[in-house]
Amino acid sequence: MSCHAYVRKWALVVLTLSAIVLVGSLATNFEAYAQESGAKAASDGSSSKLIGAGMAFGLAAAGSGIGLGFVGAAGLAAISDNPKMQSRVFIFVGMVESIAIYGIVMMFIILGQ
């Protein structure tokens, strides 16, 4: 199996699972579970915020991990050919890892609203 087919397969799996979670969370009536007749409903969106924040960070971390695997493998190959490429490889690794940091920032923005 080629590298691109492997990435496409796992990207499709991740997108399918996140679509299932999103549809399931939107279709659930949060007011029906263990609630007394006079209690405030969970319709203020706090549970949706938690799901959104978790998905923002989880998908960013998963994408960053997949990208880091490819960049790390290519970077090690480049360093073994030319050791002077080490600083450039570290720059690319940092750029890939910044995707996970953006996910954390988005998580805090979602939870802060």
Task: List, for residues 4-17, the tens digit of each pLDDT value.
Answer: 777 777 777 777 87
d(Cα 47, Cα 53) in Å, to the nearest integer?
10
If you classify domain 45-112 with CATH, what class do you get? mainly alpha
| Tokens coding 16 | 């399918």
pTM for the model stands at: 0.59
Residue 24: pLDDT band with limits 50, 70, 90 = low
pLDDT at 53: 87
Which alpha helices (H) appear in the chain, and where do they start and end?
A: 3-27, 46-81, 86-112
pLDDT at 55: 87
The DSSP code for 98 is H
* Residue-range domain boundaries for the chain: 45-112
Tell me the pLDDT tens digit for each residue of 35-92.
Answer: 555 555 555 667 888 888 888 898 899 889 899 999 999 999 999 999 999 999 999 9
Residues with Cβ within 8 Å of 35's Cβ and at least 6 positions away in sequence, in order, are 41, 42
Among 1-5, 72-76, 96-100, 105-109, whose mean pLDDT is lowest?
A: 1-5
